[in-house]
Amino acid sequence: MIMPELLRPLRLRTPTPTGRADRLDALRGFAVVWMAVFHFCYDLNHFRLLSPRQFFLSDPFWTGQRTAIVSLFLVCAGVGQAMALTAGLTWPRFWRRWAQIATCALLVSLGSAWMFPGSWISFGVLHGMAVMLLITRSLLPNLIQRGDAWAWLLLGSALCIAAPRLWSSTWLDTRWGNWTGLVTRLPRTEDYVPVLPWLGVMGLGVALGLLMLQHRPQWLSGPLPRFGRVLLGPLAVLGRWSLSFYMLHQPVFIGGILAWLHFFGR
């Protein structure tokens, strides 16, 4: 049961003056580093600098990592949504952050259309996150008033994860419909994070966040462990700037690789 106290504004007891949850930021920062390593390897392979050549779209070693990275980001986003609601996040503040994510998603589409015209990104991780945040932010305030909110979230998340396997339609195979995830074939694109099944992963993060806030709030609001602060501190900082890093890291990687090829060749 979700305690009524969860409906009151939550003030995080963290050592930072901003009141952020450093532990969640550090986990998000770890996901950022993992993503950066993955993308750098992808870029090296794209420019034929990896030997033997890797198959990122079919090799389980790479597809499994991509699934894990996206899942970690969405779980962190879900936990963050649970914390934001219990901390009294207002709609105007939500809309400001959402507008940043939506704008970056548009820039990703434009940039990928220039670089990969045949497989540009129409609904990648930022597009998916923007839609999923809208859904969770709209439904969560009413759902959280139920004592069994976490159970409903787990049930809904399981249904979202299973939905693409239960029903699909060729009518949704176009770019106008594949954002749902209910497709009969995967689209040809550089990144694809549809609402289903990934909304279920974010929902699991929300449920996990609510449970931790009820039973183990110190896991989220406590300071970083002393023994790992040297490593976790920079990860927490990176986690706070994850969107900025996401937008900048690929242009930097690709520009660096192109400069290397220009001056030193293959």
pLDDT at 18: 46
- What residues contact 95, with CB distance under 8 A and at least 6 apart? none
- As to burial, measured by CB atoms within 10 angstroms (0-12 exposed, 13-18 middle, 19+ buried), residue 139 is middle
Rounded Cα distance, 177 and 182, in Å: 8
CA atoms of 80 and 77, how far apart (whole Å): 5
Alpha helices in the chain, H assignment, sequence order = 22-46, 60-86, 91-115, 125-143, 149-166, 195-215, 218-221, 229-240, 242-264
Q: Which residues contact 122 (CB under 8 A, 6 or more apart)?
A: 109, 175, 178, 179, 187, 189
Distance from C-alpha of 217 to C-alpha of 209, rounded to nearest angstrom: 9
How far is residue 81's CA from residue 209's CA, in Å, rounded to a whole number? 8
Q: What is the pLDDT along the chain (266 residues), one digit of tens a residue?
A: 333 333 333 344 333 444 578 999 999 999 999 999 999 999 999 999 999 999 998 999 999 999 999 999 999 999 999 999 888 888 999 999 999 999 999 999 999 999 889 999 999 999 999 999 999 999 888 887 766 788 889 999 999 999 999 999 999 999 999 999 999 999 999 999 999 999 999 999 999 999 998 888 888 878 888 877 888 999 999 999 999 999 999 999 999 999 999 898 76
